[in-house]
Structure 1
Amino acid sequence: MRQFSYSRPDTLDTASHTPDHTRFLAGGTNLIDLMKSDVERPEHVVDLNALSMSQIEECPDGGLRLGALATNADTAAHPLVSERYPLLASAILAGASPQIRNRATNGGNLNQRTRCHYFYDPDMACNKRSPGTGCSAKGGRNRIMAILGTSDACIATFPSDMCVALAALNATVNLTGPEGERSVPLRDYHRLPEDTPWQDNILRTGEIVTSIDLPSISFGPHHTYLKIRDRLSFAFAIVSVAAGLQMENNTIQKACIAMGGVGTKPWCVPEAEALFEGKTPSPSLFRDAAECLLQGAVTDRDNAAKLKLAPRVIIRALSQAAAGTPQSQTQKTIF
């Protein structure tokens, strides 16, 4: 780890007016690893933990506001989250390990970087780490890499479970920085790699995530977070699906769906969600949705299996949601 200066401001204004080559520190579960691996080389680290951003509270419109510094563990266990947004609680509990969830923060989860092994190895070419050097993952060992939203410059998968559920729930990210405050839909927060893969999100210089707003929405029991991975805990998704269905008399009024493990960002296709409106759940409807969600998928050397696996996971997740039998994150057997 290289030398860096350090500050712990007690106001947002002070925190956002920072020197160049600065990184913000919250839980540190990703940033510290990257600094140890010599992938991140900040000259200055701003510790945000003295700021008051850990509250979880109701919004006037009936939604819920999640503080950026609230831990993943506290968020999943909060009664307002577990009662009103069990889809989010389930996705959080599917991620990482209890030890990491106890430290990792909501804002940090949004801003975590890919776990692509080429990105983590400074000796390998990686456009996300070192712009213009190339993408070693293309044509390399890329079984875990993305098949949706990729470009010639990058095929790295976005790693978060929490963000997949937030995308399905149409959450909003609240930001503050030198230019003032603004709010951005979660679905628009993360960037596709295109020809600038080092730009993971839409954050401007000095901007800080302060909170995440969840809209007032209820699926009752008709939701699930289904995650397929190499082992049952402490593993990133090969394919995951967050699904919520608003149903009345066995008719779907609204569908919210997002995918993880397959895209360079949490993957949503509004056209696929629109297929469900006014329809009765059926295998053919779920197959049509899977086909729509996966349109434009591009595979590389080792990750073609994701294109075969993903439709099955989508159909299984939608079947769970329609039946009101959400996937358990403690008993992980998939029925």
Structure 2
Amino acid sequence: MRNFSYRAVEEVGSAVARHTEFSTSAFLAGGTTLIDLIKLDVMRPEQVVDVNRLPLKRIDLLDDGRIRIGALVSNTELAHHPLIRARHPLLSAALLSGASTQLRNMATTAGNLMQRTRCAYFRDPVVSECNKREPGSGCAAATGINRLHAVLGTSEHCVATHPSDMCVALAAIEGTVEVEGPGGKREVALLDFHLLPGDTPQREHALEADELITSVVLAPPLGVAGAHYLKLRDRASYEFALASCGVVLVLDGQRIGQVRIALGGVATKPWRAFEAEASLVGVAPGRECFEQAARLALAHARPLEHNAFKLPLARQAIVRALETALDDARGGMSPPAQSDTDAGSPAGDSP
């Protein structure tokens, strides 16, 4: 580990000001990703600004039905908060499917948004080429062992998968990210926060230089909806998703009124399946239309040498999540969190 300067701050303005003092500076909250990457010499900040004392740990219901979540709210607190469990059970389920209790106790809302890929080539600065870590060096994963990599949103420069469960749920729920930087305060739509790699894979999010996430604001619930988060992985716990699906579904009589479908484990960013959603609105729900939606969701996938199995796996996840959300919408009981292992598929669950 390289030496770095450490500063602890108590105000957002001070945090931003301190961050501008060095060309490579990092904000420290839970540190569950940052400290790992510093130890691996993947991230090399000259300065670490500790933001844990900032007043960003509240969860508030706003007058218009939105919920504001402070950047420093832990994953554990967020998953179990009564407002989240009642209004956005999909988010609670996604959070509880990830990592371990100890990590959820430390990890924060903003930290999860900023979580970086688990690509083994990205995390190996000694021998591996990685455009995300060192622009222009190449992508070792494209021709290497790429079983865990993305099939959606990839480019010739990067095929790394986005690892977050929480962000999959947020993609389905929608809302905004509130940030503050040297230029003042602004909002970024959740769906626009994470960026596709394109030819600049080193740019992973829409934050400008020295900006700090202060809160996430969730859109109001769609209505009386069914929701389900399904995560398929190699092991039943302590694993990242091979494929995951978050669904929110609202019935309009005997037909689907609104539906949101978000995917994880298969894309370079939290992925919304808009074409699949459009195919379901106004349709009487059932296995046939769910399977058609699943095919549409993966229609533009580009599998690599070792991860073509993710296509049928993701389609299965979509169908199963839709069926469970439908049962929930009809008044059935759906568990708040689920990590399924499917013995008939090439993989089980992943965190």
Same fold (TM over 0.5): yes
Q: Distance in 1 between matches of 2:337 and 2:89?
A: 11
Q: Distance in 2 between matches of 1:25 and 1:327?
A: 34
Aligned match of 1:3: 3
Aligned match of 1:38: 41
**For this pair of structures, how many residues does the alignment match?**
335
Q: Distance in 1 between matches of 2:57 and 2:98?
A: 20
Does residue 231 (structure 1) correspond to residue 235 (structure 2)? The answer is: yes
Query: How far did 1:283 drift?
Result: 1.5
Which of 128, 137, 145 lines up with 2:149 in the alignment? 145
Q: Percent identity?
A: 48
Secondary structure of the structure 2 residue equivalent to 1:213: strand
Aligned match of 1:162: 166
Q: Structure 1 regions of 5+ residues with no counterpart? A: none
Query: How far did 1:329 drift?
Result: 2.9
Please say if residues 236 and 341 of structure 2, whose CA atoms lie closer than 8 Å, have aligned partners that are also in contact.
no
Query: How far did 1:221 drift?
Result: 5.8
Q: Distance in 1 between matches of 2:102 and 2:71?
A: 18
**AA of the residue aligned to 2:293:** A
Q: Distance in 2 between matches of 1:326 and 1:37?
A: 40
Please say if residues 191 and 265 of structure 1, whose CA atoms lie closer than 8 Å, have aligned partners that are also in contact.
yes
What TM-score, normalized by structure 1, do the two folds share? Answer: 0.97
After TM superposition, the structure 1 stretch with the greater mean CA deviation from structure 2, 34-43 or 273-282, is: 273-282
- Change over 3 Å in CA distance of 1:300–1:265 after alignment to 2: same
Aligned match of 2:334: 326
Please say if residues 219 and 247 of structure 1, whose CA atoms lie closer than 8 Å, have aligned partners that are also in contact.
no
Q: Tell me how large the CA RMSD over aligned residues is.
A: 1.6
Aligned match of 1:62: 65
Q: Distance in 2 between matches of 1:304 and 1:61?
A: 44
Query: How far did 1:35 drift?
Result: 0.3
Question: For 1:1-335, what aligned pairs fall within 5 Å after superposition?
Answer: 1-17=1-17, 18-19=20-21, 20-123=23-126, 124-218=128-222, 220=224, 222-324=226-328, 325-326=333-334, 329=337, 332=340
Query: How far did 1:333 drift?
Result: 6.6
Q: Distance in 2 between matches of 1:232 and 1:39?
A: 29
Secondary structure of the structure 2 residue equivalent to 1:237: coil
After TM superposition, the structure 1 stretch with the greater mean CA deviation from structure 2, 282-291 or 321-330, is: 321-330
Secondary structure of the structure 2 residue equivalent to 1:101: helix
Q: Distance in 2 between matches of 1:92 and 1:234?
A: 13
Aligned match of 2:348: none
- Change over 3 Å in CA distance of 1:136–1:333 after alignment to 2: closer
Query: How far did 1:250 drift?
Result: 3.0
- Change over 3 Å in CA distance of 1:75–1:310 after alignment to 2: same
What TM-score, normalized by structure 2, do the two folds share? Answer: 0.92
